[in-house]
Amino acid sequence: MIGYVTLDVGEQALVYDLHGSARIEDGPKRLFLWREKLLMLDRYSANQNEYLVVRHKDGRVEHVKGPCVLFKNPIAHLSIEKKEMISLDANEALVVYRTDAKTMVVKRYVQYGPTLFMPVSNEWLHEFCWHGTDPTNKTRMVPNKNKFERLKIIPDQFYYNVDEVRTGDDALIRVKLMIFFELKDIETMLNGTKDPYADFVNCVCADVVAFAAKYTYVEFIEHSGELNLLSSYPQLMGRSKQIGYEVSKVVFRGYYAHEKLQKLHDGAIETRTNLKIAYEKEEQEQLLTDLKLQNEKDRIELEQRRELENLEHSLKMQKAQVQHSLELELMAGMKAQRQWQKDKDGELQGKIAEDEQKLKHYQKLHGLGVNLDEYFHAQLSKPNKIVNIVVDKDAANFHLHHS
């Protein structure tokens, strides 16, 4: 090739001379080729969310994190491939395996989010292959349906129907469940199981079959509420701990029986319902009668209490009136007594004063030499009548003489 060739900005070319040697030319540049061959190189670029996988002809594989630009050199490179970095949310994790270049020992570690993860050339991701939900039936699990690399570490749930469950009387039913669970320990899960969903399904089937075998069909219906309790699933709870999961709840969503069995059961339910309605009606009538009798009894007792209260009130009022009258009489007697005592005290004081006056008078007379005995006899008044009693000794008669 002879002539001028122009390389723009961001272009790169490989130039071969006539001897087979090659050199790399970067733009922007204008080249004059003389007996040379020009090969434009393919440009590969990656942004901050991408990386380039470069496979060298010597067997090496190199991962170049973006943002970057590489040109595929056919002399050194087999291929260059652009890939997206793995974006992990806060509730996601990756299980990554790495080979030590010196010891060739493979080690495993868990990469948690949130982050942008780029595996290096000696790393690869664990690909999980678990049971998954059938798209046509959400209550059916299909083996190897769910294939993924990002591991969810948030609470999750799935529907499942346990088919062909036989009760103690050999009735065939289907039990509908909903299982809530959460991954707690990734290392325990990786070491303990290949498919946790398969373990859940097998254990819950075993627990439900064991539970139903203890009861007849009617007893199963009566005790079906116990299927909402975690204690009814011992194998499920034990296995979930062994594989690093925690089952938080199991919801019993009902059951389904064969059509003929269901019709028989519906008839029995109708009969029991009618009997129950009749029983409740009779019970309500009896309760109403008891209520009427009780109300009548309460009314009579209330009237008797009111009459007794009225009688007690009347007696209390009479007693209060009598007490009031006695208190008034007592107060009047005490007042009269005080007045009499006051009058007598006045008379006594007057008598004492009079006697003292007389005593002073007699003392003065005695002081003057007056004979008081004669004075007292002189002061005595003469009697208006004298009565002489003469008794005759010889006779039983006596005579009265008035003068």
- pLDDT by residue for the chain (403 residues), tens only, comes to 678 888 889 899 999 988 888 999 988 988 888 888 889 999 999 999 999 999 999 999 999 999 999 999 999 999 999 999 999 999 999 999 999 878 889 999 999 999 999 999 899 999 999 999 999 999 999 999 999 999 999 999 999 999 989 988 888 899 999 999 999 999 999 999 999 999 999 999 999 999 999 998 889 988 999 999 999 999 999 999 999 999 999 999 998 886 666 666 667 677 878 888 999 999 999 999 999 999 999 999 999 999 999 999 999 999 999 999 999 999 999 999 999 999 999 889 989 998 888 888 888 888 888 777 777 777 766 666 666 666 555 555 555 555 5
Indicate whether 58 belongs to any domain.
Answer: no
- Residue whose token pair is 């004059």: 32
- Cα–Cα distance measured from residue 271 to residue 12, given in angstroms and rounded to the nearest whole number: 91
Indicate whether 287 belongs to any domain.
Answer: no
Tally of residues, the chain: 403
Indicate whether 345 belongs to any domain.
Answer: no
Query: What CATH code is carried by the domain that includes residue 191?
Result: 3.30.479.30
Q: What is the pLDDT of residue 109?
A: 94
Single-letter residue type at 85? M
Indicate whether 319 belongs to any domain.
Answer: no
Q: What is the pLDDT of residue 262?
A: 63
Q: Is the dihedral of CA 180, 184, 186, 190 positive or negative?
A: negative
DSSP state of 72: -
Q: What is the pLDDT of residue 260?
A: 66
Indicate whether 341 belongs to any domain.
Answer: no
Tokens of 308: 């007794």
DSSP state of 302: H
Indicate whether 38 belongs to any domain.
Answer: no
Single-letter residue type at 254? G
Indicate whether 193 belongs to any domain.
Answer: yes
Contacts of 347 (CB under 8 A, 6+ apart): none
Indicate whether 102 belongs to any domain.
Answer: no
Q: What is the pLDDT of residue 271?
A: 82
Q: What is the pLDDT of residue 129?
A: 95
- Expressed as residue numbers, the domain containing 205 is 128-257
Domains of the chain: total: 1
- Cα–Cα distance measured from residue 143 to residue 123, given in angstroms and rounded to the nearest whole number: 28
- Residue whose token pair is 């029986």: 257
- Cα–Cα distance measured from residue 333 to residue 339, given in angstroms and rounded to the nearest whole number: 10
- Cβ distance 49 to 118 under 8 Å? no
* pLDDT single digits (tens) 30-60: 888 888 888 999 999 999 999 999 999 999 9
Q: What is the pLDDT of residue 256?
A: 85
- Cα–Cα distance measured from residue 222 to residue 211, given in angstroms and rounded to the nearest whole number: 13
Q: Read out DSSP for 198-237?
A: HHHHHHHHHHHHHHHHTS-HHHHHHHGGGGGSGGG-HHHH
Q: What is the pLDDT of residue 393?
A: 57
Q: Kindly report whether the peptide bond that precedes residue 135 is cis, defined as omega within 30 degrees of 0.
A: no
Contacts of 117 (CB under 8 A, 6+ apart): 85, 86, 87, 88, 94, 111
Q: What is the pLDDT of residue 401?
A: 54
- Cβ distance 65 to 83 under 8 Å? no
